[in-house]
Amino acid sequence: MSATYPLGFRAAGVTAGFKPSGSRDLGLLVGDPGTTAAALFTTNAVAAAPVEVGRDRLARGRVRAVLVNSGQANAATGSCGVDDALATSAEAAALIGADPDEVMPSSTGVIGEPLHVEQMHEAMPALVDGLSGDGGDAFARSIMTTDTVPKQATADAGPYRVGGCAKGVGMIAPNLATMLAFVTTDAAVAAGDLQRLASQRLARRFDALTVDGCSSTNDTVLVLASGAAGGEPLIPGSDGWEALAAAIDAVGESLVMQLIADGEGATHVMVVDVEGAANDDDARRTAKSVADSPLVKTAVFGGDANPGRFLQAAGAAGVPIDPSRLDVSIGGVVVARGGVIPPSYFEPASPLAEQARAAMKEAEISVWVRLGDGPGASRAYGCDLSYEYVRINGEYTT
Amino acid sequence: MSATYPLGFRAAGVTAGFKPSGSRDLGLLVGDPGTTAAALFTTNAVAAAPVEVGRDRLARGRVRAVLVNSGQANAATGSCGVDDALATSAEAAALIGADPDEVMPSSTGVIGEPLHVEQMHEAMPALVDGLSGDGGDAFARSIMTTDTVPKQATADAGPYRVGGCAKGVGMIAPNLATMLAFVTTDAAVAAGDLQRLASQRLARRFDALTVDGCSSTNDTVLVLASGAAGGEPLIPGSDGWEALAAAIDAVGESLVMQLIADGEGATHVMVVDVEGAANDDDARRTAKSVADSPLVKTAVFGGDANPGRFLQAAGAAGVPIDPSRLDVSIGGVVVARGGVIPPSYFEPASPLAEQARAAMKEAEISVWVRLGDGPGASRAYGCDLSYEYVRINGEYTT
């Protein structure tokens, strides 16, 4: 069900022919009239045409649907790309009886290749005909590119439901790009409050996600609130607000973990928690520096419990730290204390090294870094760097 | 000859037994009394003990020699590590008849493992006995870790000679860490002017070098000027200054290119030139973003001429750019103009794509990025990301 688990949403996913595989590649998710929207977009300076159009439509305050194609990213396509995004989303809007401003376009796929407008036009009637309250799964499949499984999640918050789906990941896959996530709820939430929820609860989840440190041209997280569960709009502090926020957070974290587990070539998931930083931003940069480090990622792949790699990556974050306050543990095994790796670690048959090696063999590896006594904390989600990542991204030929 | 090509330098390299391979692993480079020194050190917050001691000794203004061990990085070793660095370099100083402040310690190898002080003590007499004006090659070999070849370079500047050697690279190799470079000249240059030369000419070469974006705990570039060629000290603007600066620059660039070509698992060298940025720093960040991108690096490995990856990496640098001004070429083939990849690029048998694919097959791939009409320019040196990089860094077991 995923994105159509909450009331007030219909979705569909069909095969338009953008992808050589013949899989579903065109999706539509529609909220009932009155649905509010909020979004997070890529910070990449080279933003795709649908991101530009989406930002603009969101600012007009009426978005309640999203049209997604996979196969072509419609990025680096100039003004023709913007025209294509405007025209195709307007066509979908007309078919569902909405204004163009109510449909946001979203794309993932090859950067530079123009949208296949003709194929999209031909598939559009069947897509709209297929819209249903059971269409969440077909929609979740239609947005996939190199994903091996669809990513879907649901949660409840008292009388309200939250759902969502996402695709990735390799941030940009070889030719098929982008992380896209769509989160829905049937609670009523004004657009400004919904944006606050997205920025406060979802941004820290999706920003903390890193497969290869590459932010794509198309990354988008869209949140839609239909209000179909009834009742007054929830506002911060009102009854049910915190429960809703927690449910949205839970859906976000579940999608992020699913994205990481399906990262290109990933064989291990790594969760990096940084504490004791001067502030949250320092903690965030340190956590991402560890999760992004190729030397940490290859160590995780190979099961090499080399504490020096984790210390090096923490120190390379560009954050002013006191190395003599640095503690690091892997899977609960303390491998550095006060910036010092115990010399016994390097002795033959060291019990400490043995424990660390065992921790590195887990499917999910937890890394914990303490920088000092500051209040800043953050978590990053990463995965290992395997032969398969190189194969997927190196052997592909345009 | 390398570091001993200029007059006034002696060097040696012996096997102390730090490395299981039995290769040379302890080196000493000594300038005649009166030699001046300047250095560039890692910006990693977790700096090794020899870097801390080296910074301190350099500030005292008398450094004329460097003692280098390979096998143990003496990083994350706390105050014991500092004591070991002080004691071993003091011992070398005593044996060559110098004060402790005149010898800088330098280390590369496993982070966390303590120095093998006893082995170093036993090897020291033979090391000092071996010092000679022909010792540059032995010294260059003694500093190697996962390097497959020694890196050495020389240049002439009128009556003056410049030499140097370096080791790396994988910035931090799995257990054997660090980029170290030692550059010598027999010109007389006051320490302050030598530091200016290092900061202006060598920093931009070595800072532009990236194998995996990981700055190590031990990275050091040391420049020594013996003055043994005679004459008054050169000062900026004086006769011969520019020639000397150019020779030092040439040695630096040669060493950087050798380091990149021997990068872990590297099969292609990539030179990224960014022009038209608002300032040099924006250009530098953009160039490194491209050279560091795993998706660019795997594309270079696989010969995948996918222009989108280069645009994505340029846009992800965190530099405010106007994407509609972005031009990108690969090996002289323009693959994006004004932020747009020509749609013809994606047609079957596209001549443009064919040319780009051919360019991606070269051993040295030149990438050119124009951001606009600004005065900022910078170059980054990188290499590809291969199966071999994953193997070296993943299969190693501590």
Residue A308 and residue B77: Cβ atoms within 8 Å? Answer: no
Distance of CA A42 to the CA centre of its chain: 11
Euclidean distance between CA atoms B186 and B94, whole angstroms: 24
C-alpha distance from A280 to closest chain B C-alpha (Å): 18
Calculate mean pLDDT across residues A162-183.
72
**Positions of A marked catalytic:** 178
- Mention every residue, 6+ apart, whose C-beta is less than 8 A from residue A303: A357, A360, A361, B397
- The mean pLDDT of B236-265, rounded to a whole number, is 90
Q: Give pLDDT, residue A57.
A: 96
CB contact under 8 A, A299 and B47: no
Q: What is the 3-state secondary structure (H, E, C) of chain A?
A: CHHHCCCCEEEEEECCCCCCCCCCCEEEEEECCCCEEEEEECCCCCCCHHHHHHHHHHHHCCCCEEEEEEEECCCCCHHHHHHHHHHHHHHHHHHCCCCHHHEEEEEEEECCCCCCHHHHHHHHHHHHHCCECCCHHHHHHHCCCCCCCCEEEEEEECCEEEEEEEECCCCECCCCECCEEEEEECCCECHHHHHHHHHHHHHHHHHCECCCCCCCCCCEEEEEECCCCCCCCECCCCCCHHHHHHHHHHHHHHHHHHHHHCCCCCCCEEEEEEEEECCHHHHHHHHHHHHHCHHHHHHHHHCCCCHHHHHHHHHCCCCCCCHHHCEEEECCEEEEECCECCHHHHCCCCHHHHHHHHHCCCCEEEEEEECCCCCEEEEEEEECCCHHHHHHHHHCCC
- C-beta separation of B98 from B137 below 8 A: no
Task: Identify whether B88 is a catalytic site residue.
Answer: no
B200 contact partners, CB below 8 Å, separation of at least 6: B245
Average pLDDT over residues A363-386: 91
pLDDT score recorded for residue A168: 83
What pLDDT does B64 receive? 98
Q: Which helix (H) or strand (E) holds B74?
A: none
Using a CB-CB cut-off of 8 Å, the residues of chain B touching A386 are 390, 394
Of A254-263, A349-358, B15-24, B114-123, which gets the smallest average pLDDT?
A254-263
Q: Which one of A77, A371, A390, A395 makes the best mutation probe of the B interface by having the most chain B beta carbons within 10 Å?
A: A390
Q: Which two tokens stand for residue A49?
A: 């045409």
Q: Do A308 and B393 touch (CB under 8 A)?
A: no
Give residue B212's pLDDT band: very low, low, confident or very high (50, 70, 90): low
| Local structure of B345: helix, strand or coil | helix
How far apart are alpha carbons A195 and A200 in whole angstroms? 8
Report the distance separating Cα A146 and Cα A154, nearest Å. 23
What pLDDT band is residue A175 in, cutting at 50, 70 and 90?
very low
Quick one: which of A352, A327, A321 has its CA closest to A339? A327
pLDDT for the residue numbered B175: 35
- Taking 70 as the threshold, does the pLDDT of residue B397 lie above it? no
pLDDT score at A304: 84
Say how many Å lie between the first and final Cα of chain A, rounded. Answer: 35
Q: Do A175 and B308 count as a contact with CB atoms less than 8 A apart?
A: yes
Q: Give percent of chain B above pLDDT 90.
A: 68
Q: Is a pLDDT exceeding 60 seen at residue B210? A: no
Calpha distance A275→B299 (Å, rounded): 36
Contact B10, B130 (CB under 8 A): no
Q: What is the torsional sign of CA B347, B352, B358, B359?
A: negative
Name residue, tokens 């941004």.
Answer: A203
- Three-state DSSP class for B212? coil
- Which of the 8 DSSP states describes residue B199? I
Residues of B within 8 A of A387 (CB-CB) are: 387, 390-391
Bigger pLDDT: B343 vs A206: B343
Shortest alpha-carbon distance between residue B269 and chain A (Å): 15
B211: closest chain A residue by CA? A294
Q: Closest Cα to residue B18, out of B60, B58, B71, B75?
A: B71
Can you read off the two tokens belonging to residue B313?
A: 């990496």
Is the pLDDT reported for residue B259 higher than 90?
Answer: no
Residues B389, A75: C-beta atoms closer than 8 Å: no
**Between chains, do B46 and A340 touch, taking CB under 8 Å as contact?**
no
* Cβ <8 Å between A299 and B394: yes
Provide the pLDDT for residue B396. 53
Instruction: Mark A291-313 as b/e (b = at least 16 C-beta within 10 Å).
Output: bbbbbbbbbbbbbbbbbbbbbbb
Q: In the structure encoding, which two tokens stand for residue B389, read together?
A: 């990089």
Q: Is the predicted pLDDT of residue B398 greater than 50, yes or no?
A: no
- To the nearest whole angstrom, how far is the Cα of A297 from the nearest Cα of chain B? 8
Mean predicted confidence (pLDDT) in B212-240: 88
At B293, the pLDDT band (50, 70, 90 cuts) reads confident
- Is the pLDDT at A79 greater than 90? The verdict is yes
**DSSP class of B123:** H
C-beta separation of B107 from B72 below 8 A: yes
Give the per-residue pLDDT at A26.
98
Burial of B48 (0-12, 13-18, 19+ CB in 10 A): buried
The DSSP letter of residue B32 is P
Residue A196's CB is within 10 A of a number of other CB atoms, namely 16
Q: State pLDDT tens for residues B316-365.
A: 888 999 999 999 999 999 999 999 999 999 898 999 999 999 999 999 99
Phi, psi of B251 (to 5 degrees): -65, -40
- In angstroms, the Cα distances linking A108 to A72, A348, B22, B47, B292 are 6, 50, 53, 42, 23
Question: Which candidate, B75, B143, B175, places its Cα nearest to that of B115?
Answer: B75
Decide: helix, strand or coil at residue B372. coil
pLDDT at position A233 is 95
Taking the C-alpha atoms of residue B160 and residue B162, their distance in angstroms, rounded to an integer, is 7
Q: Is the pLDDT of residue A161 over 90?
A: yes
More confident residue, B104 or B216: B104
| pLDDT, chain B, mean | 90
Give the mean pLDDT of chain A: 90
Q: What's the pLDDT at A390?
A: 78
Residue A251: per-residue pLDDT: 96
Most confident of A232-241, A339-348, B118-127, B236-245: B118-127
Q: Closest-CA residue in chain A for B319? A: A45
| Structural domains of chain A in order of their starting residue, each with its CATH number | 2-261 (3.60.70.12), 269-395 (3.10.20.340)
Structural tokens at position B85: 């660095």
Asked if residue B211 has pLDDT above 70, the reply is no
Res B13 pLDDT > 80: yes
Residues from chain B that touch A45, judged by Cβ atoms under 8 A, are 314-317, 319-321, 323
Q: Count of residues for chain A?
A: 398
Give the Cα separation of B300 and B364 in Å (integer). 10
In angstroms and rounded to an integer, the radius of gyration of the C-alpha atoms of chain B is: 22
* Active-site residue identified among B178, B185, B210, B220: B178
Contacts of B174 in chain A (CB under 8 A): 295, 298-299, 304, 306
Cβ–Cβ of A112/B339 closer than 8 Å?
Answer: no
The angle subtended at Cα B31 by Cα B28 and Cα B37, nearest 5°, is 100
What are A221-242's pLDDT values in tens digits? 999 999 999 999 999 989 999 9
Q: Give the pLDDT score at A192.
A: 95
Tens digit of each residue's pLDDT (9 = 90 or more) over B170-190: 543 333 347 899 999 999 999
Instruction: Check: CB of residue B160 under 8 Å from CB of residue B186.
Output: yes
Separation between Cα atoms, residue B293 and residue A212, nearest integer Å? 8
Q: Chain B: nearest CA to A243, how far in angstroms? A: 35
Question: Is B208:B288 a contact under the CB 8 Å cutoff?
Answer: yes
Using the predicted structure, report yes or no on whether residue A306 has a pLDDT greater than 90. no
Q: Is the pLDDT of residue B224 over 90?
A: yes
Diameter of chain A measured on Cα atoms: 72
Residue B177, min C-alpha distance to chain A (Å): 9
